[in-house]
């Protein structure tokens, strides 16, 4: 009887390892899903005098896209964002993360600006509160300011079609 | 595989080569010790398995700065750890929390040890007489033993 | 042209491996010794082919043949030639070729000695090792071909990872592989016992030197890795419980259990099922380690560039090899592996405790290493398991082990009494206890209690070992001659146990007594640490063969006398665009003085880490002693057996 135990344990181990092959060990899921977006007070990228705070995110579901001019992967998703803003009328707010105003403005000029607005976060404070660990990242925030989804890495058409678009549609429906 | 792609690109995203490694000044030895312990037990999220203390990544420096700032504000270790877990989840802890899902992790070794103890006890206790050894084998063993020293 | 020859040689080696498996299998089935005997030349020819193929790959690196993808990815014309040679095993594909070569080498060694075995057992052993060869050669040829070409060839290569451009990294992987692969021999031998349905009288005696040799190489490999990490990574640490480190440590722990369990089965014929299981387990963990390192399932600083497709292949190898052997164990074990008896207090009991504790430690490390994966797979969240967990749990498990060691190496076979043991060892126990108590008061810091316990146990092990030596040698006409005349198995045991005590002591002392500082320093600044003064004298720039470096000169003085000049560097490797730090270390038996440069700050200031590492060399010296003990024990003359019985039921040719 005891001779079967090692084999049994091994079978369990192999199953675990096989499942593990499909997972990404470096992906960090966000603990902020279904929690309210954090409070913050920062300035607009375009206007150092204009303040922006959490309440400006309320009222309608939107995407919050974390980007920076020094981020090479951001360039990969940027055309998709521009198109989403234009064609699908998606509201995208940018979070310019640990950047300078000049570099950020120049980058937007060169690659297009899909953002209704960009928040300027030079020290990454809001990024820290959002649990940002690698740009680009995109959050889906609902009308009440609750985070509903987090995309780590560039946004792809598949993720848009399969995850975010249906989610935004659900969030847009008026609650009873 | 869908998830591996973003991870690969994360590496690209961190395109800035500049790294960070600022030494801190501490008010007293106790705070310094607390800082070292925290930095060693918190994980750098963008690294391939390094603690906050050992990593040169930008984010690691940011998080070290946060830990330092909170220590100077007088927060407790639990508050500092809780702050980071709120934002990054349990992944950031090298000492996993003791909870329902990790109970097997924390108590497993003890169970294994107890199990081994039981095995050891039973094998040392009343042993049923072993099956009579094969007579040829016994003779061969005896022959081998005779032909060389048996000591140590 | 030449690399294609290398590829052809690998294919030829695969064909020979198939012969190496098929012929003895047919020989067993038809009970024909002629077929059985074909295994030997096939194995030897396989080794020759792989050696030549390996030489071809090394040659490609030396002549900078960048038309080979593997060379282009891991070398550069500016890379110094020793590193071009070691780049051969610096990444996945080439290291697989090394793995296959070393396996063929071990098989060759077995064929040189297997006339001591019954023919059918020798045949099965060679065939099993051949099966492993086939698996790895197929893996290499189908998914990881080191001879793959890309034309047109790039003008230059991507350089070897700067972390690997270091002498320690040249010998660390070959040592490790010698160990991992070496455990295939006892593994094959265990399979042979199960398949043939009998555990021959000399089974354990034959297997012991093989297990010991594999074990000693693995000991050295792990020690080298730890030492390398210490001086190369710049933060003064020497073990991080990283998944890949754990992947090497687990086979070592089971291998240690195996060599001790083999001693029992050899001397007393008991623990057969346990020893066979350990033999299967040690090699299985080697295979598991191969999987963990190359599949991308766990994050690690050590992992090779990974590919889940390769992971599937290795998982397949793992499943077949380990699953097959454990199925065989479950099926044939009960019949083949019964017997033996011993009293409650005897050397057997202590050795059983040793085996069980090592097995529990192995299982615990495995649990901690894959637990994050398990939770993730079940969708229960993402956690990390790191040094705080492993240090606590492993440390606790080592306590009873060290305790048992002292008693166990002293106890008599089959029957002994606690009273006799206590009589012999009470002074050793008392001294250890005294040391522990003193240490609690002398040391300070958060780790002092655990360090004190560890030191007490280290002294306990050392003293009980020495009492054993004294017992045999004192009071004789010439104690020294008596000592030298002891069987090598005993001498090896003494050395290895003393080495273990030294390592444990080193771990405790370095944890408790080391101090470090992280400072902002500019030339002219001075810092005091551990009774020494470290003065940042100057900063220079220089250019190496494939890097640009800033080198600082630190003068270390004590009471005004110069103790050392340390030259830490911060290098920037141009081709890969990677920074590297080279620490400045003054090594000593009781302490290391360690300085490493962090990042440049404003002006001429740098962030500098300074360490006073107490007794850290003891950790690796202890490991070297353990390996030396293993080597001496492996060469014990009593392990040379003549073939005393013909193969069971196999027709032999005319003599």
pLDDT score, position A25: 84
Per the domain annotation, does B100 fall within a domain? Answer: yes
The C-alpha atoms of residue C516 and residue C570 are separated, in whole angstroms, by 19
**Range 582-601 of C in CB contact (< 8 A) with B:** 598-599, 601
Q: Which two tokens stand for residue C370?
A: 């894959």
Confidence at B134, pLDDT banded by 50, 70, 90? low
Q: Which residue in the set C198, C371, C487 is minimally distant from B105, CB to CB? A: C371
pLDDT score, position B142: 61
Interface probe for B, chosen from C117, C353, C354, C386 (most Cβ of B below 10 Å), is C386
Please tell me if residue B136 touches chain C, with a CB cutoff of 8 Å.
no
Distance from CA of C394 to the nearest CA of B (A): 9
Confidence at C32, pLDDT banded by 50, 70, 90? confident
Q: Which two tokens stand for residue C55?
A: 């030489």
pLDDT score, position C652: 39
Per the domain annotation, does A134 fall within a domain? Answer: yes
Interval B64-110: pLDDT, tens: 999 999 999 999 999 999 999 999 999 999 999 999 999 999 999 99
Average pLDDT of span C437-450: 88
Q: Which two tokens stand for residue C581?
A: 């730090």
Per the domain annotation, does A8 fall within a domain? Answer: no
The C-alpha atoms of residue C79 and residue C76 are separated, in whole angstroms, by 5
Interval C106-122: pLDDT, tens: 999 999 988 888 888 89
The number of distinct structural domains making up chain A is: 1
Instruction: Tell me the domain boundaries of chain C.
Output: 1-164, 166-332+345-408, 417-514+617-630, 515-614
pLDDT at position B141 over 70: no
pLDDT at position C451 over 90: yes
Give the CATH number for residue A125. 3.40.30.10
Per the domain annotation, does B60 fall within a domain? Answer: yes
Average pLDDT of span A26-46: 92
Which residues constitute the domain of residue A138?
Answer: 32-172
CA nearest to A16 within chain C: C374
With contact defined as beta carbons under 8 Å apart, do C211 and C186 qualify? Answer: yes
Long-range contact set of residues C80-86: C-beta below 8 Å, sequence gap at least 24: C80/C165, C80/C545, C80/C546, C82/C167, C82/C170, C83/C160, C83/C164, C83/C165, C83/C170, C84/C160, C85/C58, C85/C61, C85/C170, C86/C160, C86/C164, C86/C169, C86/C170
Yes or no, beta carbons of B19 and C338 under 8 Å apart? no
Interval C593-612: pLDDT, tens: 999 999 998 888 999 999 99
Per the domain annotation, does A12 fall within a domain? Answer: no
ipTM greater than cut 0.95: no
Residues 6+ apart with CB under 8 A from C41: none
Interval C328-364: pLDDT, tens: 999 998 888 776 677 778 888 899 999 999 999 999 9
Please tell me if residue C489 touches chain B, with a CB cutoff of 8 Å.
yes
Per the domain annotation, does B132 fall within a domain? Answer: no
Q: Which residue in the set A7, A18, A23 is minimally distant from C315, CB to CB? A: A18
Q: Which residue in the set A128, A131, A134 is minimally distant from B14, CB to CB? A: A134
Per the domain annotation, does B19 fall within a domain? Answer: no
The C-alpha atoms of residue C26 and residue B8 are separated, in whole angstroms, by 49
Interface probe for C, chosen from A4, A6, A27, A72 (most Cβ of C below 10 Å), is A6
Per the domain annotation, does B130 fall within a domain? Answer: no
Q: Which two tokens stand for residue A148?
A: 């509903």
Per the domain annotation, does B96 fall within a domain? Answer: yes
- On average, the pLDDT of chain B sits at 78
With contact defined as beta carbons under 8 Å apart, do A10 and C311 qualify? Answer: no
With contact defined as beta carbons under 8 Å apart, do A51 and A43 qualify? Answer: yes
pLDDT score, position B145: 59
Per the domain annotation, does B75 fall within a domain? Answer: yes
Yes or no, beta carbons of B94 and C638 under 8 Å apart? no
**Range 276-315 of C in CB contact (< 8 A) with A:** 277, 280-281, 284, 291, 295-299, 308, 311-312, 315
Per the domain annotation, does B90 fall within a domain? Answer: yes
User: Counting every residue, how long is chain B?
Assistant: 152
Give the CATH number for residue B95. 1.10.8.640
Please tell me if residue C635 touches chain B, with a CB cutoff of 8 Å.
no
pLDDT score, position B144: 62
């Amino acid at each position: 009887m005891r001779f079967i135990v090692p084999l049994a344990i091994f079978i369990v181990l192999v199953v675990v390892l096989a499942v593990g092959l499909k997972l990404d060990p470096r992906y960090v899921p966000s603990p902020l899903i279904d929690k309210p977006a954090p409070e913050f007070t920062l300035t607009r990228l375009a206007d150092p005098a204009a303040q922006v705070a959490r309440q400006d995110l309320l009222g309608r579901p939107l995407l919050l896209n974390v980007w920076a001019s020094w981020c090479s992967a951001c360039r990969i998703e940027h055309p998709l964002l521009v198109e989403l803003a234009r064609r699908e009328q998606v509201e995208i707010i940018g979070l310019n993360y640990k950047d300078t105003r000049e570099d950020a403005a120049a980058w937007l000029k060169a690659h297009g600006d899909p953002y209704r607005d960009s928040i300027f976060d030079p020290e990454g404070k809001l990024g820290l509160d959002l649990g940002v660990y690698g740009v680009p990242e995109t959050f889906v925030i609902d009308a009440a300011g609750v985070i509903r989804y987090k995309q780590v890495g560039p946004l792809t058409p598949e993720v848009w079609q399969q995850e975010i678009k249906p989610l935004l549609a659900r969030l847009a429906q008026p609650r009873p | 595989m869908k998830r591996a792609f973003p991870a690969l690109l994360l590496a690209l995203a961190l395109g800035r080569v500049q790294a960070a490694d600022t030494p801190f000044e501490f008010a007293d030895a106790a705070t310094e010790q607390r800082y070292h312990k925290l930095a060693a037990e918190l994980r750098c999220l963008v690294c391939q398995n390094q603690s906050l203390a050992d990593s040169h990544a930008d984010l690691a420096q940011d998080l070290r700065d946060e830990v330092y700032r909170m220590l100077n504000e007088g927060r407790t270790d639990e508050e500092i750890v809780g702050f980071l877990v709120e934002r990054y989840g349990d992944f950031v802890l090298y000492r996993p929390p003791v909870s329902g899902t990790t109970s097997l992790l924390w108590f497993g070794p003890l169970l294994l040890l107890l199990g081994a103890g039981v095995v050891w006890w039973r094998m040392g206790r009343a042993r049923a007489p072993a099956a009579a050894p094969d007579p040829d084998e016994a003779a061969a063993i005896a022959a081998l033993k005779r032909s060389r020293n048996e000591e140590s | 042209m030449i690399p294609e020859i290398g590829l052809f040689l690998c294919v030829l080696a695969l064909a020979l491996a198939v012969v190496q498996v098929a012929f003895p299998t047919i020989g067993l089935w038809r009970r024909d010794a002629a077929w059985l005997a074909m295994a030997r030349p096939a194995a030897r020819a396989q080794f020759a082919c792989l050696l030549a193929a390996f030489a071809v790959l090394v040659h490609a690196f030396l002549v900078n043949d960048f038309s080979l993808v593997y060379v282009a990815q891991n070398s550069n014309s500016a890379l110094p030639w020793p590193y071009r040679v070691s780049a051969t095993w610096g990444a996945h594909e080439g290291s697989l070729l090394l793995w296959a070569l070393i396996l063929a080498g071990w098989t060759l060694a077995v064929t040189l000695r297997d006339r001591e075995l019954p023919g059918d057992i020798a045949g099965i052993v060679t065939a099993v090792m051949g099966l492993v060869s086939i698996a790895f050669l197929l893996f290499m040829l189908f998914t990881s071909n080191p001879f793959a070409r890309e034309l047109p060839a790039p003008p230059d290569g991507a350089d070897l990872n700067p972390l690997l451009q270091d002498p320690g990294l040249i010998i660390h992987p070959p040592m490790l592989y010698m160990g991992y692969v070496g455990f295939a021999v006892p593994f094959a031998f265990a399979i042979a016992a199960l398949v043939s349905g009998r555990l021959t009288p000399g089974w354990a005696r034959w297997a012991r030197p093989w297990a010991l040799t594999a074990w000693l190489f693995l000991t050295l490999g792990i020690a080298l890795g730890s030492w390398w990490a210490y001086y190369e990574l710049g933060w003064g640490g020497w073990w991080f419980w990283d998944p890949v480190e754990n992947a090497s440590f687990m086979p070592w722990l089971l291998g240690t259990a195996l060599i001790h369990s083999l001693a029992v089965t050899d001397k007393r014929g008991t623990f057969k099922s346990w020893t066979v299981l350990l033999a299967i387990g040690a090699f299985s963990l080697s295979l598991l380690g191969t999987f963990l390192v190359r599949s991308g399932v766990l994050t690690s600083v050590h992992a090779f560039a990974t590919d889940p497709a390769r992971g599937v292949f290795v998982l397949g190898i793992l499943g077949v090899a380990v699953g097959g052997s454990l199925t065989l164990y479950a099926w044939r074990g009960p019949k083949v592996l019964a017997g033996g008896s011993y009293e409650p207090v005897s050397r057997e009991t202590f050795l059983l405790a040793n085996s069980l504790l090592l097995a529990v430690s192995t299982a615990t490390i495995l649990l901690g290493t894959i637990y994050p994966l398990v939770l993730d797979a079940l969708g229960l969240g993402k956690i990390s398991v790191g040094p705080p967990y492993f240090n606590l749990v492993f440390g606790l498990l080592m306590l009873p082990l060290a305790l048992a060691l002292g008693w166990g190496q002293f106890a008599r076979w089959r029957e002994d009494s606690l009273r006799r043991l206590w009589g012999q060892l009470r002074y050793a126990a008392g001294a250890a206890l005294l040391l522990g108590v003193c240490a609690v008061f002398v040391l300070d810091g958060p780790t002092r209690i655990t360090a004190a316990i560890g030191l007490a146990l280290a002294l306990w092990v050392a003293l009980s070992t020495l009492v054993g030596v004294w017992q045999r040698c004192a009071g004789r006409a010439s104690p020294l001659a008596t000592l030298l005349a002891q069987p090598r198995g005993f001498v090896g045991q003494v050395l290895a146990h003393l080495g273990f005590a030294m390592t444990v002591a080193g771990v405790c002392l370095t944890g408790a007594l080391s101090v470090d500082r992280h400072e902002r320093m500019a030339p002219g600044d001075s810092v005091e640490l551990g009774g020494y003064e470290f003065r940042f004298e100057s900063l220079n720039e220089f250019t190496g063969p494939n890097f640009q470096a800033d080198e600082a000169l630190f003068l270390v003085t004590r009471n005004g006398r110069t103790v050392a000049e340390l030259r830490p560097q911060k290098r920037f490797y141009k081709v890969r665009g990677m920074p590297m730090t080279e620490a400045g270390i003054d090594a000593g038996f009781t302490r290391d003085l360690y300085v490493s440069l962090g990042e440049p700050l404003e002006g001429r200031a740098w962030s500098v880490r300074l360490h006073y590492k107490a007794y850290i060399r003891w950790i690796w010296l202890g490991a070297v002693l353990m390996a030396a003990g293993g080597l001496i024990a492996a060469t014990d003359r009593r392990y040379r057996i003549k073939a005393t019985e013909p193969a069971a039921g196999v027709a032999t040719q005319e003599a």
